[in-house]
């Protein structure tokens, strides 16, 4: 097991900077996800940890040892790719044994290790099949087994679930998390899927244009986004721009006064999550805005209602499709109130 330290990592490709001043301590046995929009530098950072990409600047330490100049196969990291990258002409067992051969593991121990990791990913009966004879989910399990066979100190996964359908994604995601926890593996998991990152991570790193925006537990990052970029990227949020006019009063650009618990003098924008809002026929709670329902989307467990305020600003509200829900308040065209508590506002100073 191992601790990974990334120290001021930077990667420049010609004139473009893919990763800039990325520093992070990944604890022993921790699962950290890198999350962010396409092109924000997640894969490049992961590949620097694996040793496939050399940093332009900065250091990588595994258990205190500087591995920045160490070749990939000497780093003791196990990597799983988005496309399973199995050798098509080798059986499942041969695919897994290949890495062990490279690590000069003797044949008897190799055989034993192949059996152990196939058992871990519940693929024991498939050892003599070729990759083309396996489903996508099975191929990805083999790729995971292959990465684990060498008993890596650090487990690296680059969007390993994105080629799988929704149901399988969730199943394999849970299997990876269980395996990672039972083995106590220090793991870095790259994804652009928010739900995946929220569900799996001990901590998540939100990236934007090569830089780290926020690092924290999923609930902390979701509940307390540090800036507008994070708030906008993770989940959905309604934003109201404007200025403070008193200790807890914020005047929006369209002339509404919002009650905000933790307002600061430099607040330029107030945000509220759609699921924190209530719809009613009479004003309720600390904040109430009169709105008109413009559209209703039935999503099964939730109902997403789009509203328009007096200033023609759209507000999105997400209601839980719970027993006893009042369907009258979200008929298209209805004049209703959208309500939320002063505590449920997030405040931002960057516009
Ligand atoms: P995605 O989610 O789409 O995989 P990402 O967050 O993993 O994106 P990276 O693949 O790390 O992003 O790419 C970061 C930036 O670096 C992008 O602008 C990309 O075009 C650029 N880049 C990556 N690899 C190279 C390369 N070998 N040569 C030049 N530019 C590169």
- Based on the domain organization, do 80 and 57 belong to the same domain? yes
Probe residue for ligand 1, chosen from 42, 52, 211 as the CB with the greatest number of ligand atoms within 8 Å: 42
Question: Residue by residue, what is the 3-state secondary structure of 161-222?
Answer: CCCCCHHHHHHHHHHHHHHHHHHCCEEEEEECCHHHHHHHCCEEEEEECCEEEEEECHHHHH
Within 13 Å and on the Cβ side, how many CA atoms surround 132?
Answer: 3
Helix (H) or strand (E) holding 149: helix 136-149
**According to the model, what pLDDT value does residue 116 have?**
93
- Based on the domain organization, do 313 and 194 belong to the same domain? no
CATH code: domain of residue 324? 2.40.50.140
- Based on the domain organization, do 92 and 209 belong to the same domain? yes
**Of 170, 202, 230, which closes a domain?**
230
CA 29–ligand 1 middle distance (angstroms): 27
DSSP string, 17-41: EEEEEEEEEEPTT-EEEEE-STTSS
In sequence order, which residues have a C-beta less than 8 Å from that of residue 99 and are 6 or more positions away? 146, 147, 149, 150
CATH code: domain of residue 175? 3.40.50.300
Domain that holds residue 256: 236-348
**According to the model, what pLDDT value does residue 331 have?**
85
In which residue ranges of the chain is pLDDT below 50? none
- Based on the domain organization, do 282 and 309 belong to the same domain? yes
Q: Are 265 and 320 in contact (CB under 8 A)?
A: no
Q: Are 48 and 12 in contact (CB under 8 A)?
A: no
Instruction: Please give the Cα distance from 189 to 158 (Å, whole number).
Output: 6
- Based on the domain organization, do 136 and 183 belong to the same domain? yes
- Based on the domain organization, do 203 and 247 belong to the same domain? no
∠ at Cα 211 (205, 215), nearest 5°? 25
Q: Are 119 and 144 in contact (CB under 8 A)?
A: no
**Of 182, 202, 230, which closes a domain?**
230
In sequence order, which residues have a C-beta less than 8 Å from that of residue 290 and are 6 or more positions away? 309, 310, 335, 336, 337
162 lines ligand 1 (CB under 6 A): no
- CA-closest candidate to residue 235, choices 203, 206, 200: 206
Tokens of 297: 């989307």
- In terms of C-beta density within 10 A (0-12 exposed, 13-18 middle, 19 or more buried), how is residue 301 classed? exposed
Phi, psi of 316 (to 5 degrees): -105, 135
Q: Are 45 and 189 in contact (CB under 8 A)?
A: no
38 lines ligand 1 (CB under 6 A): yes
- Based on the domain organization, do 12 and 129 belong to the same domain? yes
Specify the ligand 1 atom closest to the Cα of 46: 11
Instruction: Please give the Cα distance from 140 to 146 (Å, whole number).
Output: 10
For the entire predicted model, the pTM comes to 0.91
- Based on the domain organization, do 137 and 17 belong to the same domain? yes
**Of 213, 230, 247, which closes a domain?**
230
Nearest CA to ligand 1 atom 5: 39
- Based on the domain organization, do 250 and 284 belong to the same domain? yes
- Based on the domain organization, do 74 and 173 belong to the same domain? yes
Q: Are 344 and 285 in contact (CB under 8 A)?
A: no
What is the tally of structural domains in the chain? 2
Specify the ligand 1 atom closest to the Cα of 11: 16
Q: Across the strands, what pairs with 33?
A: 189, 204
- Based on the domain organization, do 266 and 179 belong to the same domain? no
Q: Which residue's structure tokens are 């498939």?
A: 126
41 lines ligand 1 (CB under 6 A): yes
∠ at Cα 94 (169, 117), nearest 5°? 50
- Based on the domain organization, do 163 and 286 belong to the same domain? no
Probe residue for ligand 1, chosen from 14, 36, 40 as the CB with the greatest number of ligand atoms within 8 Å: 40
């Amino acid at each position: 097991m191992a601790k990974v330290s990334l120290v001021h990592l930077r990667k420049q490709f010609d004139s473009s900077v893919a990763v800039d001043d990325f520093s992070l301590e990944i604890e022993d046995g921790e699962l950290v996800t890198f999350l962010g929009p396409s092109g924000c530098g997640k894969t490049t950072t992961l590949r620097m940890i694996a040793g496939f990409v050399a940093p332009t600047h900065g250091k990588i330490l595994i258990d205190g040892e500087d591995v920045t100049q160490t070749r990939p196969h000497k780093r003791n990291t196990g990597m799983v790719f988005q496309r399973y990258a199995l050798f098509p002409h080798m059986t499942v067992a041969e695919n897994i044994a290949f890495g062990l051969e490279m690590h000069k593991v003797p044949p008897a121990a190799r055989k034993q290790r192949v059996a152990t990791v196939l058992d871990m990913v519940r693929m024991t009966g498939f050892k003599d099949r070729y990759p083309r004879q396996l489903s996508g989910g099975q191929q990805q399990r083999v790729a995971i087994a292959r990465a684990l066979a060498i008993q890596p100190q650090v487990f690296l996964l680059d969007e390993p679930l994105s080629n799988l359908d929704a149901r399988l994604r969730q199943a394999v995601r849970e299997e990876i998390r269980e395996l990672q926890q039972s083995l106590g593996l220090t793991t870095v998991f790259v994804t652009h899927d928010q739900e995946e990152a929220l569900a799996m991570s001990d901590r998540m790193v939100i990236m934007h244009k090569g830089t780290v925006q926020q690092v924290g537990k999923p609930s902390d990052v979701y509940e307390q986004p540090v800036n507008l970029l994070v708030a906008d990227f993770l989940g959905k949020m309604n934003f109201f721009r404007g200025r403070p006019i008193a200790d807890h009063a914020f005047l929006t650009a369209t002339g509404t006064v919002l009650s905000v618990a933790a307002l600061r003098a430099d607040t330029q924008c107030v945000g509220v999550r759609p699921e924190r809002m209530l719809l009613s026929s009479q004003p309720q709670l600390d904040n109430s805005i009169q709105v008109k329902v413009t559209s209703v989307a039935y999503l099964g467990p939730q109902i997403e209602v789009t509203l328009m305020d007096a200033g023609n600003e759209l507000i999105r509200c997400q209601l839980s499709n719970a027993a006893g829900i009042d369907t009258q308040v979200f008929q298209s065209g209805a004049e209703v109130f959208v309500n939320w508590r002063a505590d449920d506002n997030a405040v931002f100073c960057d516009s």
